[in-house]
Each structure stands twice: as C-alpha cells, then as structure tokens.
Amino acid sequence: MKRLILFAVPLLFAQCLHAADAGFDARLRQAYSRLEKRDLAGAKAEFQKLAAAQGVDAQTKWEAEAIVEALDLLPRLHAKHPRLFVNESSWPAIKQRALGEEKEFYDQMARRVNALKLERIAANNFGMEAMEAALVYRVGGDKTLLEKLRRMLRVSMEVIPQRREGASERSFPAIAWSAALDWVWDESPADERQSLAATMLSDAWKRVEEARAAKKLAEWPHYYVRSIFWFVGVALLDASLDDVSFARAVALIGIGLKHYQERLAKLIEVGGEDGVWQTNPEYDLGSVPSPVFAFFHSWKAATGEELPQAWSVAGVSAELALRTVVGITRDHIRHFNYAGHSNGSWGFGQMRADLLADFLGQHIYFFGKTRPAEAAIAQHLRWRMAETGGAKLPGELPVLRFLTIGLQGPAQPAALPPLPLARHFASVGMVMMSSGFGPDDTYALYSQGGGVKGRRHDFDVTHFAIYKRGHLALDSGARFAAGHSANYRHQTVAHNAVLIHMPGEKSPRSQTGPVTANGGGQNRYPEEARPLAFESDRLFAYTATDATPVYSAAKCAQMTRQFVYLAPDHFVVFDRVVSTQPGYAKSWLLHAGNEPDIARREFRADNEGGRLFCRTLYPLDAVIEKIGGAGKEFWTDGRNWPIEDFWQTPGSRDWWKRYGKGLTEPPAAMGRWRVEVKPGAARADDCFLHVIQVSAQNVPRMIESEVRESGGRIILNFAANTRTCTFIFNKTGPIGGSLRIAQDGKAVVDKALENRIQR
C-alpha cells in the first residue's frame, strides 16, 4: 500500500482556520494549529488529549476523536490522484465496463457531454456534468473535453459558495465536482487546481463551522450538503495545498468518516437479526442510501480495502424491497403509500425506480457472495425493473454504475429463492404478506408495533394496507402540509385502525407541529405496543398485537387486534376493544381511494383494476357510514384538514405547486374516502369482526359466511378457494383461538392461534 507523502510548505499566517469562531475551544484551536503546521504526530497527540480530557463538551470531544481517526487513516490512503471512487489501478476495468456491458449507458452520457456547448457553460453549478465529462474524458481520451471540463469546474466554483436555493443544498453536485477535479488533477494547471481545491475546501469548512456553532456537527447529514465532508477531503487532499487547505482536507476526512462510521453502526444496531432498518420506501429505498453506497465505493477506492460484511445491513434489504414493491412501471415503482417515519409519505404511492435498481445492483456487488439469497432477490427485482426500462435511468450519482466491476445485468428472469407467505420484520415492527410477487398478486402490510425506538413517527399500530391491482385498503393523507400533516396524516384517523373518542383529549405534538384536533386516536408511537403473535404457513399468515399501551389509559382499558391472511385473497380482522367509559365512542376504520358502495353490512370499493369487499360481522348492531369526497377527504374532529399549504409557509396554498406532480387535488392513492363502523349503542366492551376479500373487478360479489357464539367464543365459517375455513376467536379472556382449513373434507390446517412469535 502506498503511503501519503507530506511535504511541508510555509504556513500562511494570513489565513486562520478558525479566526471567525469566537466560541472555539482554545484547546481545539491549539490542536488545529499543529495540524496547520503539518506536525501530524503533534496534532494527533493534542487531539487525543482533548478527546480524553474531563469537562470537554460532547461536540468538541466528538470532533477531536474524528481528527484522530483521520490521522490514523492517512497512511492507508492512496498517495496519488485519483482516489475518489476510482484509482489508477481501477481505471482499466472501469473503461472496459463502460465500453462493454454498460456501453449503452456510457454512450448516453457521452452524448450529453458532447452536446453541451462550451459557450453555454456559465453561471451555474455544473458539478454533475463535470463528473460525467471527466469520466468520458478518461474513458475516451478526447482532449477537447478537457477545456469544457475545466470551465465547468471554474464556473461551478463561482456558484457553489453562493448557496443558491435548490440542488446545491443536496450533496451530490459537490461530490461530483470533487470527483471530477480529482480525476483530472494531474492534467490541470497546478495553480488552477490548487485554487479550485482551496475554494471548495473553504466552502466545505464554512459548513463545518456553521454546524459546530449550531451544535449539529455530530448529526447525521443524510444526503444533504454536509454529507460532502468525507468526499471533498478524500478527493482534494494533496501535499501541494497551502497549509490551511491541507489541514481542512484532513479534518474533513475525519469528520465525514466519523459521520459514516456512526451511521453504519446505528443501522447495524437497528437492523439486528432482520437486517432491516427501512420503514419509509420513498426515502429509505430512495435517496437515503445514496451517500452510503457512495461512501462504500469511495472507501474501497481510496484505501484499497474490502468492506466489512457487517456493513451490508446499512444498504437495502432486498426482501423488504421485494415485499414493498407492489408494481413497476418504466419510471416508478409502486408501494403501499405507507411511511412510518420521516413525516409520512407524499401520498402518491410511488417513487422513482432508478434509485432502487441502482441500490440493488450495488448491494449485489458488495455483498452478493456472502449473502446469496438476498442477492438472488435483488437480481429478480432488477430484472423486473429492466423489463420496464426503469433500471436504465441514471440514479443520484450515475458514475457508480461503472464501478461495479463484474456485475452483470439480469439478461433473463432471475429465479427467487423459496420465500414464506409472510415475513415479520421485528426490527421495525412490521409484517409483510403476499400471495406472490407478480402484478396480479395480493400484497398486504400490517403495523404490528414493537421494534427499535425512534423509527416510527405515525400513531398507526394495527394499521393494515392491502394492494391488488390497485391501492385498496390504504394510508391516507400526505406529508409536509401545514395543518393537515399534524392533525390528520400522522394521526390514527388516517390509518386503518380503531378510534376511541374521549372528549377533551389532547394529542401530543406530531413530527410536523402541534396538534389541535381531537381525532380519538393513539397517543404513543408503535414501539410502545406489544407484539403478541406471528406465524407464517403455506396457506395462512397470522399476527396479533396488544395496542392498549399506545392509547391513553384514561380512555382505553384494552385494544387488541388479530389479523389473519388466507392466501391468496382473504383477510379476517378481529378486534377486542374496551373503553374506560361506555360513552367513549369507538370507530373501526378502513380507508379507500374511491367512494365505497354500502349495502346493509357490506361495502365494496374499487380502484384501478382491483376491488375490495368488506363484511362487518361484529358488532351485531353495527352502524356503517362512509365519509369523504370533495371537501371531506381528510375529515376529523368536525372539520376537513385539506392539503393546501407547505408546512413551513402556512397560508401560501403552495403544496400542490411544490409537490403535486401536476395534480391539484388528491389522487385515489392518497385516500379520499373511508368507512367507519360503530357500535349501535354505547357500551364499554365491544368486538369488531370483519372479513375482507380482494379481487379483480370482474368478481361480482364476495363469499358467503356465517358466524355464531358459543361459550364466550365467536365462531366464523366460510368457504374460499375450494377450502372451508373455521375460525374461533376468544371473545373474552386470553387473546387467541383456533383455525381449521379443510379441503375435500380433510383438514390441511388445524391449530391454535398461539401467542408466540415465530422465528
């Protein structure tokens, strides 16, 4: 391994790394002064003393530890440029890949670069274009591109420090710019490259100082601009830099490295045995992993070291993605419109397809050999995306596609390994079920509760979502809408759960602000609920939850739900609800995209090519009503909470302009109607029993069923899919019961519904 050779140059006293920071710890300043003098051993000793000192504030200690990490890493970094994403030894394989299996993608990139006229490169951030131009230049060798590329680098560095609104606040343009300069470092005039590097390092360091002043330096920066620190430092570190710029590069490496080390450790902790930390597909299968995979590539290129296998948890769970992706089009993947955190979902039930396709490929590249089952799932999904064309889109950092040396695109259908009917992802408190993984299959999600604290931000325990040829039982509402998100979207009323209405109840603050509506829902997050059971069989899946702890004890003495999926198209939902006062009204909810048709104790709701039937069997005196339509889509506590304003600009009526994707009113996937089932009389103790059937729209009616009581138990019988099913639920006493499924008069399932979690 080559070692970085550091040459001392005169200290530029006119520049001071921290002159503007009046509150800067004197001991930290002293340690940095050693670093500015390139006294690496002395600097390390000072930072180590500071990290171990008593009475040092947590942020200063964190920063000192970060710089020690950087100084330990320096000898392991490649001494020469390039080292960000690529190095000299990897260029030949990258060129071969670009001109081989990824030639179509490379040719598209080359056409974009060649089409950009020199005179049009002005007064803008060309960071992304510069990275593409640098790659095309290195692969194709066209010297005329170098002039374009140098101009892109110069004009971008005139714009980036201005912090214009928009993409500049995401990290990717600055990361791409840094990579471009790194890749042509030796072919750029020395004074020009040093000036450009010093300017970028100065701008990045201002971000450090601002974060330090706000006490946010140690916070994970996601994919926003502070995630550039590691990449900028690695790309621009060079012995020829002035002393202050050199010190900044080293410090940025350390601060960025510590961000990623802590992020990876946290995701490994959250993922646990399941290897799942994701709850919001629009972000956790979208932009959020982008900087993590970029870090993986940069680590490998800069150090020449392979990734620890423990880091695989920090990528993307291929099985969770498979069970979340309910449909694929050219540009988008469809999902349940469910988001347990990050201020909810946007409400469209879809996200861009290229990112997930890219992540699955990256996951196979880094971890496929040691996790072959996950790799097979990832390859299957990639093949499905390739069939629609979605996988051909560029991703956040298009260059990463060329770095996956040896990764082949799925030229033919990739077989799935054997998978159970349902999977319990205990780490995030969710159960995912599906009859298969094709476009006509039935998919379901159940919010069981439990899991790692801090991962869930909606009051949605026992919520279920069902998809078959369209969103049928769904989450409703959207994120980042002033008034709406806090009072409706994050509340239980927006989910398929049970409300208990207690007059005067005050709800806790939501992720997007204070709550004024009394929606009758839960007041603690899903982690506080108690998962009771999970079992997956060939013919059925069963899960149960004690949700009592997530309701106010002042109104709820018991709330439990037992949820059974009978493959392929039937569900049974049994709830036991005991309020502390008979007058506290209860409501059982199911949200739909379009107006339901109610006939006696049944209703039907269609969306796209799918149909949902639901029959209420308990309460025996149930009253069924529908709420929704124009002006009442998001109704709670006597009023509608429309999606109008961005949450930061109340009164602006700008939500649809910002986020509407061309729409001006809620689409079906956002949920425009709901059915409420209420007991016909006031009482403390109630049971709700529902049978749900989903189908294509050519099915005219749902199955017949019968129900009776015997000895404190409810007995449900129906026939479906050439089988007869008998459920017995305990109406009182322990949560449980039994299930018998018979075919041709012979029992194929005959068992108790036990309170245990299947592993």
Question: Between 688 and 395, where is the model more confident?
Answer: 688
Strand partners, 677: 588, 624
**Of 447, 480, 676, nearest to 563 (Cα)?**
447
DSSP assignment letter at 488: I
Mean pLDDT over 593-618 rounds to 98
Q: What are the φ and ψ backbone dihedral angles of 347, each rounded to 5 degrees?
A: 95, 5
CA distances from 722 to 422, 427, 610 (A): 22, 37, 22
Same domain, 487 and 405: no
Q: Is residue 456 part of a domain?
A: yes
CATH of residue 537's domain is: 2.70.98.70
Same domain, 471 and 564: yes
Mean pLDDT over 362-386 rounds to 91
Strand partners, 125: none
pLDDT of residue 16: 44
Integer Cα distance of 498 and 618 in angstroms: 14
CB contact set of 215 (below 8 Å; sequence gap of 6+): 59
Domain-terminating residue out of 419, 444, 470:
419
Q: Which helix (H) or strand (E) holds 130?
A: helix 127-140
Same domain, 616 and 693: yes
pLDDT at 635 over 80: yes
pLDDT of residue 478: 96
pLDDT at 12 over 90: no
| List of E strands, 236-390 | 327-328, 332-334, 350-352
| Helical packing angle, 190-213 and 144-159, nearest 10° | 30
- pTM for this entry: 0.92
Q: Is residue 341 part of a domain?
A: yes
Torsion 139-141-147-150 (CA) sign: positive
Same domain, 480 and 370: no
Peptide bond into 82 cis (omega under 30): yes
Q: What is the distance between the terminal CA atoms of the chain, rounded to a whole angstrom?
A: 45
Integer Cα distance of 665 and 670 in angstroms: 10
Mean pLDDT over 543-550 rounds to 98
Same domain, 478 and 371: no
Integer Cα distance of 156 and 340 in angstroms: 38
DSSP assignment letter at 704: P
Domain-terminating residue out of 419, 444, 460:
419
Same domain, 415 and 429: no
413-417 CB contacts, 8 Å cutoff, 24+ apart: 413/380, 413/383, 414/376, 414/379, 414/380, 414/382, 414/383, 415/376, 415/380, 416/322, 416/376, 416/377, 416/380, 417/373, 417/376, 417/377
Q: How far is CA 557 from the centre of its chain?
A: 34
Same domain, 634 and 508: yes
CB of 558 closer than 8 Å to CB of 576:
yes
Q: Which helix (H) or strand (E) holds 385?
A: helix 372-388
> Longest Cα pair distance anywhere in the chain, in angstroms?
92
Q: Is residue 396 part of a domain?
A: yes
| Helical packing angle, 103-115 and 127-140, nearest 10° | 120
pLDDT at 161 over 90: no
Domain that holds residue 565: 424-752
Strands lying side by side in the sheet with 498-500 = 498-500, 586-592, 673-678, 623-628
Same domain, 587 and 657: yes
Integer Cα distance of 636 and 632 in angstroms: 9
Q: Hey, how many other C-beta atoms are within 10 angstroms of the C-beta on 746?
A: 7
Integer Cα distance of 681 and 451 in angstroms: 37
- Point out the least confidently predicted range of 108-122, 233-247, 334-348, 394-408: 394-408
CB of 98 closer than 8 Å to CB of 139:
yes
**Of 462, 631, 431, nearest to 561 (Cα)?**
462
Q: Is residue 38 part of a domain?
A: no
pLDDT of residue 396: 87
* Rg, Å, the chain Cα set: 29
Burial class of residue 587, CB neighbours in 10 A (0-12, 13-18, 19+): buried
Q: Strand 685-696 to strand 610-618: parallel, antiparallel, or no bridges (unpaired)? A: antiparallel
Integer Cα distance of 53 and 57 in angstroms: 10
pLDDT of residue 683: 97
Q: How far is CA 132 from the centre of its chain?
A: 27
pLDDT of residue 385: 86
Mean pLDDT taken over the chain: 92
Which tokens sit at 714?
A: 């409810």
CB of 562 closer than 8 Å to CB of 753:
yes
Q: Is residue 683 part of a domain?
A: yes
- Percent share of the chain, pLDDT over 70: 95
pLDDT (tens digit, 9 = 90+) per residue, 292-344? 999 999 999 999 999 998 899 888 999 999 999 999 987 789 999 998 888 88
Integer Cα distance of 129 and 152 in angstroms: 8
Q: Locate tokens 């999902």: which residue?
A: 335
Q: Is residue 89 part of a domain?
A: no
Which tokens sit at 758?
A: 């299947």
The pLDDT confidence band at residue 5, using thresholds 50, 70 and 90, is very low
Same domain, 552 and 474: yes
Strand partners, 565: 541, 571
pLDDT of residue 7: 32
Q: Hey, how many other C-beta atoms are within 10 angstroms of the C-beta on 730?
A: 18
pLDDT of residue 443: 98
pLDDT at 3 over 70: no
| Helical packing angle, 127-140 and 144-159, nearest 10° | 160
Same domain, 434 and 375: no
DSSP assignment letter at 508: P
Domain-terminating residue out of 404, 419, 434:
419
pLDDT at 164 over 70: no
Q: What is the DSSP string of 537-605?
A: -SSEEEEEEE-GGGS-TTTEEEEEEEEEEETTTEEEEEEEEEESSTTS-EEEEEEESSPPEEETTEEEE
- Point out the least confidently predicted range of 198-202, 272-276, 446-450: 272-276
Integer Cα distance of 459 and 70 in angstroms: 42
pLDDT at 21 over 60: no
Q: Is residue 561 part of a domain?
A: yes
Mean pLDDT over 154-173 rounds to 79
Q: Is residue 747 part of a domain?
A: yes
CB of 608 closer than 8 Å to CB of 484:
no
CB of 469 closer than 8 Å to CB of 696:
yes
The pLDDT confidence band at residue 452, using thresholds 50, 70 and 90, is confident
The pLDDT confidence band at residue 393, using thresholds 50, 70 and 90, is low
pLDDT (tens digit, 9 = 90+) per residue, 553-574? 999 999 999 999 999 999 999 9
Does residue 504 come out as left (phi exceeding 0), alpha (psi in the -120 to 50 range) or beta? left
Integer Cα distance of 60 and 48 in angstroms: 12
Integer Cα distance of 442 and 198 in angstroms: 56
Which tokens sit at 449?
A: 């509760």
| Helical packing angle, 103-115 and 91-99, nearest 10° | 90
Same domain, 415 and 463: no
pLDDT of residue 343: 85
CB of 354 closer than 8 Å to CB of 306:
no
Amino acid of residue 259? H
**Of 335, 410, 340, nearest to 377 (Cα)?**
410
CB of 429 closer than 8 Å to CB of 451:
yes
Same domain, 385 and 455: no
pLDDT (tens digit, 9 = 90+) per residue, 510-535? 988 899 999 999 999 999 999 999 99
Integer Cα distance of 610 and 722 in angstroms: 22
Structural domains of the chain, count: 2
Mean pLDDT over 9-36 rounds to 61
Mean pLDDT over 733-745 rounds to 96
